[in-house]
Structure 1
Amino acid sequence: MESMVLEEGISSFKLYLTYGYKLDDSQVLAALERLNQLNALTCVHPENDGAIRFLKEKVLAQGSNAPIYHALSRPPECEAEAVGRMINLATLAGDAPIYIVHLSNGIGLEYIRQAHQRGQAVFAETCPQYLSLDINKYNSSTGENGAAEHPYDEGLKYIMSPPLRDSYHQNQLWQGVMDGTISTVATDHCAFTMSQKRAGRDGFQYCPNGIPGVENRVPLLFSEGVMKDRISINHFVELVSTRPAQLFGLYPRKGLIAEGADADLVIIDPNREVTLSQRLMHGRSDYCPYEGMKMQGYPIMTLSRGEIIVRDGHFTGKPGHGQFLHRQPLNECFRYWEK
């Protein structure tokens, strides 16, 4: 870890509390302590593996394997318990800073809010899917054109972990975005094709977890946040650009418009109305989770280091333009962080 942080410029590490490569609490505590010593940020996927395993085995034993049972076997409490546990373990590791990825529920959000009240360095992201889609997506059995499909197909599109929640948790997350408890909005982009997702026709447990969404993050948050007066344009920029750059050691080269910074710019036309559709996307996945959603305001141009790479939805970038960026440790990041 030391050489990765100090020599290779890798200033954040992600831990999993579930899946086959999960860490137990003692391993998590050791990692937290070491990363804290190195001024690196610990990111964590927080779900209670034992509770999920118990609930999954229970519903499958009952013959319940439709997509909705993916969500019901991973209820908000499973995620929230792990959020609270990570907050406490971080305290035991000398107040190690932690970053909670893809927060989907209001119970965990309250734990984070309480940690902030104690002055603990706990940062959280949520994602557009948790702000704009809900658990009812798992019960849908018709395609986007109304044509009958396999009864599981539409629901399989939305199998991800953590799963989609109900409107209560959705509203709580918006409140966390608005009041600053949530620091960033990311995507958890993990794309599959529908042929891969259809493995779940034999049971949700066989469906690969994840959805596409990296192209949709900025327009969704702009349309649902700024244009609906939930957040200001300044707060929008903080959520999608400035705060991520600060937390992950890229500021002030990224996340700032100033002399000496990279000219990475997205120009949004607030009057542009666009209906999201797979035909507008550029990835290899063959479906859009937000199909049919109407956006008010949409990006019309994207520049990377001063070069136009997207204009009116057409990619114009060149292979080899990307660069690996040596990132700064947290003690440098926090110089720019304003509570």
Structure 2
Amino acid sequence: MSLLIRGGTVLDATHAYRADVFCDHGKIVQIGQNLDAPAGAQIVDAGDRYVIPGGIDPHTHMELPFMGTVASDDFFSGTAAGLAGGTTSIIDFVIPNPQQSLLEAFHTWRGWAQKSASDYAFHVAVTWWDESVNREMGVLANEHGVSSFKHFMAYKNAIMADDEILVNSFRRALELGALPTVHAENGELVFQLQKQLLAQGITGPAAHPLSRPPAVEGEAANRAVRIAEVIGVPLYIVHVSAQQALQAIERAQSEGQRVFGEVLAGHLLIDDSVYLDSDFTRAAAHVMSPPFRAKEHQDALWKGLQSGHLHTTATDHCSFCALQKAAGRDDFTKIPNGCAGIEDRMSLLWHYGVETGRLTPSEFVQVTSTNAARIFNLYPRKGAIEVGADADLVVWDANATRTISAKTHHQNVDFNVFEGRTVKGIASQTIAAGKLVWSAGDLRAERGAGQYLSRKTFAPYFEANNKRRAANSSAS
């Protein structure tokens, strides 16, 4: 099946230019002006709109078993919703239980993901440590294309990685040329604050941000950064929500350390007043970790994104319906943590980023697609518009608007944390693997059409970097 996108302005991470884009067998095969369409080719008229690389959400949790329930979006419904919003690839998380084989968990997630409507990759979490974990990290990296490993510094008595696990896993990642990532919150502090608040009779959603103040995130981010510094491994910090965590990243970068930062669309736009809503259902719908912060943190995060200290935007898409959230009605620590957003991320970033002048159009492409592809070794297969790249493309209408609502979204959840916002800039057409899967409100997602993305490690770069470090050390 071939497809020609005719007449649009190709917009990538560096520049914009008028061109047609011809796709065949799931790949971009020709870019140029006034291209001829072969017989039978599908024509998409881009008109005065942009043609951009398909969005990559590097942080999702589809079908996640968590806090006694399972996320309401499975790999099909979640990725289908992503296609409607212009996201054509995700990187989800395999999260083994403590003492569970990493490989066993990986194969379980691979089974669930076979229904995915878009392409997908996995980070694998390290939630415990022994020699088998060390060995299986190698198998995952060398045989299954996993080049990034996740570490939860929060969730004590569940999946929290203590400093010993961080050190062992970071060292192994360095050996493999894999990128460690962290959820930076001091789990012990959170645990103690939760107990204190419950003892004081503060049991509702308003207690959630009080149990996870910005300093808790800042401490953990700085600790992870310094552990990575000592070991000599790059680091990626997910869902940076607090100015203190951003400052830890900025300091490390100024010292020449390779640290990447991710920010969620929600943390850029929603403040902590949502937890004071007298309606439990509305307040609980916003419970996620880290929590939404005071407005000054949003300002800092936008500046971090503008300045390049933060590199990617994500959603941490982990949807739970009102009935699931109600499990914590009498104890905020039992409210399943998570919010949806995969369908809305790109429109929100365009409206509040490009339309406000915070981001240029090319910077929008960088932070919604290209940077994630580069950091997680998917580039230029993903995140680029060039011959040979996957035909994951979005015809982007910068002038069209839509109003976000749970009544009209495609996410399988009964609440939208961006409810009622009218955004300018939408995906009018989405092409995934060369097929038109979203067009003017018509979602044509195919169950099982998505492919697993095997990723190479960064071993050659790591080896060169460590030789440089060793030389500098001996010289001093």
Please indicate the TM-score interval, normalised by the length of the shorter structure: over 0.9
Equivalent residue number for residue 61 of structure 1: 199
State the alpha-carbon separation in 1 of the partners of residues 460 and 408 from structure 2: 39
Letter in 2 for 1:320: G
* 1:288 and 2:416 correspond: yes
Q: What is the CA distance between 1:73 and its match in structure 2?
A: 0.9
Equivalent residue number for residue 178 of structure 1: 306
SS state at 2:329 partner: helix
Letter in 2 for 1:183: H
Q: What is the CA distance between 1:320 and its match in structure 2?
A: 2.4
* 1:25 and 2:153 correspond: no
* 1:40 and 2:178 correspond: yes
Q: Check whether the contact 1:193–1:285 (CA below 8 A) recurs between aligned residues.
A: yes
Q: What is the CA distance between 1:17 and its match in structure 2?
A: 0.9
Q: Check whether the contact 1:246–1:333 (CA below 8 A) recurs between aligned residues.
A: no
Equivalent residue number for residue 144 of structure 1: none
Equivalent residue number for residue 103 of structure 1: 240
Q: What is the CA distance between 1:317 and its match in structure 2?
A: 2.2
State the alpha-carbon separation in 2 of the partners of residues 136 and 60 from structure 1: 20
Equivalent residue number for residue 116 of structure 1: 253
SS state at 1:66 partner: coil
Q: Check whether the contact 1:242–1:255 (CA below 8 A) recurs between aligned residues.
A: yes
Q: 1:326 to 1:271 in 2, by over 3 A?
A: same
Q: Check whether the contact 1:270–1:297 (CA below 8 A) recurs between aligned residues.
A: yes
State the alpha-carbon separation in 2 of the partners of residues 77 and 202 from structure 1: 26
* 1:158 and 2:286 correspond: yes
Equivalent residue number for residue 132 of structure 1: 269
* 1:3 and 2:131 correspond: no
Over aligned residue pairs, what C-alpha RMSD do you find?
Answer: 1.2
* 1:209 and 2:337 correspond: yes
Q: What is the CA distance between 1:254 and its match in structure 2?
A: 0.5
Flag structure 2 segments of 5+ consecutive residues without an equivalent.
Answer: 1-136, 463-476
State the alpha-carbon separation in 2 of the partners of residues 313 and 191 from structure 1: 22
Q: Check whether the contact 2:153–2:182 (CA below 8 A) recurs between aligned residues.
A: yes
* 1:237 and 2:375 correspond: no
Q: What is the CA distance between 1:297 and its match in structure 2?
A: 1.3
Letter in 2 for 1:132: L
Q: 1:198 aligns with which of 326, 332, 340?
A: 326
Q: Check whether the contact 1:280–1:313 (CA below 8 A) recurs between aligned residues.
A: no
Q: What is the CA distance between 1:331 and its match in structure 2?
A: 4.5
Identity within the alignment, % = 39
Letter in 2 for 1:217: R
Q: What is the CA distance between 1:136 and its match in structure 2?
A: 0.4
Of 274-283 and 186-195, more deviation after overlay is shown by: 274-283
Q: What is the CA distance between 1:91 and its match in structure 2?
A: 1.2
Equivalent residue number for residue 330 of structure 1: 458
State the alpha-carbon separation in 1 of the partners of residues 418 and 397 from structure 2: 20
Q: Check whether the contact 2:204–2:331 (CA below 8 A) recurs between aligned residues.
A: yes
Q: Check whether the contact 2:274–2:286 (CA below 8 A) recurs between aligned residues.
A: yes
Q: What is the CA distance between 1:294 and its match in structure 2?
A: 1.3
The structure with more strand, counted as a fraction of residues: 2
Equivalent residue number for residue 14 of structure 1: 150
State the alpha-carbon separation in 1 of the partners of residues 172 and 181 from structure 2: 13
Q: Check whether the contact 1:249–1:332 (CA below 8 A) recurs between aligned residues.
A: no
TM-score by length of 1: 0.93
SS state at 1:302 partner: strand
Q: Check whether the contact 1:101–1:126 (CA below 8 A) recurs between aligned residues.
A: yes
Q: 2:387 aligns with which of 255, 259, 264?
A: 259
Q: Check whether the contact 1:223–1:297 (CA below 8 A) recurs between aligned residues.
A: yes
Letter in 1 for 2:174: N
Letter in 2 for 1:309: V
Structure exhibiting the larger radius of gyration computed from Cα positions: 2
Deviations 1:100-131 (A, max 9, x none): 00010111101100100111011010001100
State the alpha-carbon separation in 2 of the partners of residues 317 and 64 from structure 1: 44
Q: What is the CA distance between 1:53 and its match in structure 2?
A: 1.1
Letter in 2 for 1:137: V
Letter in 1 for 2:194: K
State the alpha-carbon separation in 1 of the partners of residues 323 and 461 from structure 2: 42
Return structure 1 stretches of 4+ with deviation > 3 angstroms: 331-334
Structure with bigger RCO (C-alpha 8 Å, 6+ apart): 2
Equivalent residue number for residue 269 of structure 1: 397
SS state at 1:324 partner: coil
Q: Check whether the contact 2:176–2:459 (CA below 8 A) recurs between aligned residues.
A: no
SS state at 1:160 partner: coil
State the alpha-carbon separation in 2 of the partners of residues 228 and 105 from structure 1: 22
